[in-house]
């Protein structure tokens, strides 16, 4: 199960890494008042968060756990019944 769980972490972390990459692209959807420095800060934060996800530091986070569960089982667990 450990290798599968790590694969799920890697998959979720990859989505955050893509978000970090896309956040620096023109036309990402930021408001006009968002500066390039803000975008760089956001990108760096997402990269750091992705690294922590890969290390298992956010397995307790509901969003991360839900995304990992979906990757492993294909089931999407609703937050509220």
Convert 45-62 to b/e letters by CB count within 10 Å (16 or more is b): ebeebbeebbeeebeeee
Q: Give the model confidence (pLDDT) of 32-53 as tens digits.
A: 898 889 999 999 999 999 999 9
Residue pair 17/46 in contact (Cβ under 8 Å)? The answer is yes
Q: Residue 71 burial by CB count (10 A; 0-12/13-18/19+): exposed, middle or buried? A: middle
Predicted model pTM: 0.85
Q: What is the pLDDT of residues 47-81, one digit of tens each?
A: 999 999 999 999 999 999 999 999 999 998 877 54
Calculate the CA 6 to chain-centre distance: 14
């Amino acid at each position: 199960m450990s290798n599968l769980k790590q694969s799920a972490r890697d998959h979720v972390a990859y989505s955050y890494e893509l978000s970090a990459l896309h956040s620096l692209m023109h036309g990402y959807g930021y408001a006009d008042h968002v500066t390039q420095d803000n975008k760089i800060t956001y990108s760096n934060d997402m990269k750091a968060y992705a690294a922590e996800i890969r290390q298992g530091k956010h397995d307790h986070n509901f969003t991360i756990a839900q995304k990992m569960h979906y990757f492993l089982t294909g089931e999407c667990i609703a937050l509220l019944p």
